[in-house]
Amino acid sequence: MMQNLSLPVLYDRMIECGVIDLEPWALLRGSEQLQRTQHVDELFPGWGVIPFARRTDNDEVACWTGGSVVVIDDFDVVRAAGGEAVRRAISEYASMDEWLIAAVRDFIEFD
């Protein structure tokens, strides 16, 4: 579940301003966000991240860690020798602001 984390104010502001589909990124909301959160929690127990956006052209999902953003692929999972999923970030951002700037760059470059 959502742990004790909450998403930054910027997430709510993006929704209020209608910035929910910034191709190729789309904000996760409602049941879609809940399902993705449950999936990530099952794969990576105890990590406690909150998925808040997904790429529409692949399986990447941006997750809030409580202080930064990690982008992961929760369907292309590397397993350790014991079978547990290895936590690995495709990219990391120091804040949601930095992730949003990168998402805007992706939007500009996306065809």
| pLDDT tens by residue, the chain, 111 residues | 344 469 999 999 999 999 999 999 999 999 999 999 999 999 998 899 999 999 999 999 999 999 999 999 988 888 889 888 888 899 999 999 999 999 999 999 997
Q: Are 56 and 23 in contact (CB under 8 A)?
A: yes
Q: Which residue stretches of the chain are H helix?
A: 9-16, 30-43, 96-109
Write the CA distances from 58 to 15, 34, 73, integer angstroms. 22, 19, 8
Query: Tokens 């020798």 identify what position?
Result: 81
Cβ(68)–Cβ(48) below 8 Å = no
- Please tell me the pTM assigned to this model: 0.89
